[in-house]
Copies of this chain bind each other. A is one copy, B any other.
């Protein structure tokens, strides 16, 4: 092991490179350093990649979905070198009043791997050979022996987000569920909705390739403009008492509200940034809707999602369209940016 490693560095819009970087070190008692075996590119990474996030710093080491093996751990971290672990994308202290209530995203210390200054202070990401994990006793969790690295990889973000979306939607078995957005989060949310007893799930996505992939997972997919009609058909006119918005745009939120049945719950897991999104408050009032904004919390629900995977009820690896060596990360981003990939997994050289 040398004192340098390679990691994915953001150099500007649509420019990422694998660069030599200092090997991360345990800096505090609750730190761990992980040798990354698998990492993935998330839809959120694309916003950074495209230069759409104001203040996203050149030089940021990217990546918030990764799994690996403990290289070194501080004295307060209950994991041994060599132990397989999965990581939460949310970094939280685990000790404050918010964390005590299980509200890790509301922790005053919250940050995200590889996300520059967008949420909290910058922490280098995991699309790299090694990554330092702060609050590792909270952020990491042991990987079950019967699950592969790829099976647990998405417990760091996409899987908890989709799971939380379906949970918060308060699905009654038999309900029709509408999902706006058929990317990885929307797909997992839709699969979780099926597992939770949905009678029918209809996913809206404008991209034909995504709709085909959704169909391949046994899900009904339609263009956004056809969502209302499709929901009406399968629900026999009752509408969708549970709606999941997995995009994060003004249009997606409006569509989600539009197809909601009276008294429906609309769960918004798409990341919103608007200070004044146009919202149909009249319609929401007339139908007495509940709109819940929710961030998937891996720390809180990874045991639950792992149990689902172990029981064979959910296979998150269906999301993977490409596996590339870490060395090809620039091509991986390009594929994903051009929507030729649904989910790219970056494989460490020696794993």
Q: A interface vs B, CB < 8 Å?
A: 29, 75-76, 78, 95, 97-98, 100-103, 105-106, 137, 163, 166-167, 172-175, 192, 195-197, 199-200, 234, 236, 248, 250, 253, 262-263, 268, 271-285, 287-295, 299-300, 303-308, 310-311, 313
Residues of B within 8 A of A199 (CB): 307-308, 310-311, 313
Complex Cα distance, B308 from A197, in Å, reads 8
Q: Assess whether B293 is in contact with A290, with CB atoms less than 8 Å apart.
A: yes
A–B Cβ pairs within 8 angstroms, 6 of them: A29-B75, A103-B263, A173-B308, A199-B308, A275-B280, A285-B295
A276's partner among B234, B279, B300 (CB-CB below 8 A) is: B279
Q: Cβ of A105: which chain B residues have Cβ within 8 Å of it?
A: 288
A174 touches B308 (CB 8 A): yes
Residues of B within 8 A of A299 (CB): 100
- Whether B279 and A289, one on each chain, are in contact in the complex, defined by CB atoms closer than 8 angstroms, is no
Q: Which residues of B contact A95 (CB under 8 A)?
A: 78, 137
Contact A103–B288 (Cβ < 8 Å): yes
Cβ–Cβ contact B174 & A313, under 8 A: yes
> Whole-angstrom distance between the alpha carbons of A263 and B297 in the complex?
13
A98, B262: Cβ atoms under 8 Å? yes
Report how far A292 CA is from B267 CA in the complex, Å.
12
The smallest beta-carbon distance between A267 and chain B, in angstroms, is: 10
Q: Would A307 and B272 count as touching, CB distance under 8 A?
A: no
Nearest Cβ in chain B — how far from A344, in angstroms?
A: 26
Say whether B196 contacts A197, CB under 8 Å.
Answer: yes
Smallest CB gap from A234: residue in B:
B311
Residues of B within 8 A of A271 (CB): 285
Q: A188 CB to closest chain B CB, in angstroms?
A: 12
Q: A291 to B291, Cβ gap below 8 A? A: yes
In the complex, given contacts A236-B310, A276-B278, A291-B291, what are 7 additional A-B residue pairs having Cβ atoms less than 8 angstroms apart? A100-B300, A101-B102, A199-B307, A199-B310, A199-B313, A276-B279, A278-B279
Pick the residue among B273, B282, B290, B293 that contacts A272 (CB under 8 A).
B282
Nearest-CB distance from A119 to chain B (Å)?
A: 8
| Distance (whole angstroms) from the CB of A120 to the closest CB of chain B | 11
Closest B residue by C-beta to A166: B173
B263 adjacent to A274 (CB under 8 Å): no
